Amino acid sequence: MKDIYILAIETSCDETAAAVVKNGREVLSNIISSQIEIHQKYGGVVPEIASRKHIENINIIIDRALKESNKTFDDIDAIGVTYGPGLVGALLVGINSAKGLAFSLKKPLIGVHHIEGHISANYISHKDLKPPFISLIVSGGHTHLVRVEDYGKYKILGRTRDDAAGEAFDKIARSLELGYPGGPIIDEISKKGNKKAVDFPRAYLEENSYDFSFSGLKSAVLNYINNNKQKGIEISIPDLAASFQEAVVEVLVEKTIKAAKVYNFDKIVLAGGVASNTRLRELFYERLGSKKLYFPDKILCTDNAAMIGSSAYYKFLNNEFSDYKLNAVPNLELTSNI
């Protein structure tokens, strides 16, 4: 079969990214321009600034991705682009660039769901990984537990009812004035702390539910900080961070392993920014039993375009193309399609 080359674009949040991916698995280039430093001083992503920076960067990033891949526009078989979920203004920059390229080059356009992209990052890091598997997607905006039956075929088992896992990390880090994004900082600080220092609540919700909830935990941590402040008791930040992190990851690990057992799947696949959390991976390994654990290389855990290229490849094989009406869908849900 002929090799398929996808030029992929991702601008859903604060990374301007473009990549060229061969046959869904081989990354020929993966250029990521992060705006983190710009947003850091505001303690989070400022949508207006993100869109403006995407506009400034997008053409340069696409050119670099193509150049580094040693391919030309002629070699490209299709243009893949994230169309949601994400920030509307940010998404539109990527979508409009992709449409412009597809139109002028007369190549097919493929809209990709950002969360599908995160799952597909694993196909790049693990060349032999194939569905079916249970996937836990944990990022700044999403927490999903999904049964992946085939490429692009999903059954959603559970999702967060309030904050996403990464969002919880970011909010707690912000209230401790540790900086943004909070996940990697809490991950690092926790290594010096005692995870059993504070017994924070674990929200398992109803029996048999695969949903998550982190707002109760967030309130418990904030109350703990305020109570101690009022009493003039000094808090150990490493102990607090480690105890909070443990409460998050324990619920994630328990529910994911339970789903793998109940549905009799032997593979567990992590995706999204929080998938690079050290303690999350460690606890999975402690409790995994005979199940196998997969997670993407660190650079593919957070937002990138290579993962979008991988996802677009499987849509290409299924003839799932988009037309020029493709629009940004900020609240695009990942829905069950089996």
Strand order in the sheet with 292-294: 153-159, 143-150, 133-138, 267-271, 292-294
Q: Nearer to Zn ion by C-beta: 246 or 303?
A: 303
CA distance 32 to 63: 12
CA distance 19 to 90: 17
Q: Nearer to ligand KG4 by C-beta: 66 or 269?
A: 269
Among 154, 169, 200, 314, binds ligand KG4 (CB under 6 A): 169
Told to check if 303 binds ligand KG4 by CB under 6 A, we report yes
Query: In the complex, what is the shortest distance from the CB of residue 122 to Zn ion, in angstroms, rounded to a whole number?
Result: 14
Work out what residue 33 binds among ligand KG4, Zn ion, none; the CB cut-off runs from 5 to 8 Å by kind. Answer: none
Told to check if 193 binds ligand KG4 by CB under 6 A, we report no
Work out what residue 123 binds among ligand KG4, Zn ion, none; the CB cut-off runs from 5 to 8 Å by kind. Answer: none
Work out what residue 82 binds among ligand KG4, Zn ion, none; the CB cut-off runs from 5 to 8 Å by kind. Answer: none
Q: For residues 127-146, which are near ligand KG4 according to CB under 6 A?
A: 139-141
Pattern 246-285, ligand KG4, x by CB under 6 A? --------------------------xxx-xx--------
Told to check if 310 binds Zn ion by CB under 5 A, we report no
Picking from 128, 112, 124, the residue whose alpha carbon sits closest to that of residue 78 is 112
Q: Nearer to ligand KG4 by C-beta: 33 or 277?
A: 277
Quick one: which segment of 18-26, 136-144, 168-176, 228-236 binds Zn ion (CB under 5 A)?
136-144
Q: For residues 10-49, which are near ligand KG4 according to CB under 6 A?
A: 13
Among 33, 139, 143, 256, binds Zn ion (CB under 5 A): 139
Query: In the complex, what is the shortest distance from the CB of residue 256 to ligand KG4, in angstroms, rounded to a whole number?
Result: 16
- Per-residue CA distances from 325 to 93, 109, 322, 333 (Å): 15, 11, 8, 19
List residues near ligand KG4 by CB under 6 A: 13, 139-141, 166, 169-170, 181-184, 187, 272-274, 276-277, 302-303
List residues near Zn ion by CB under 5 A: 139, 303
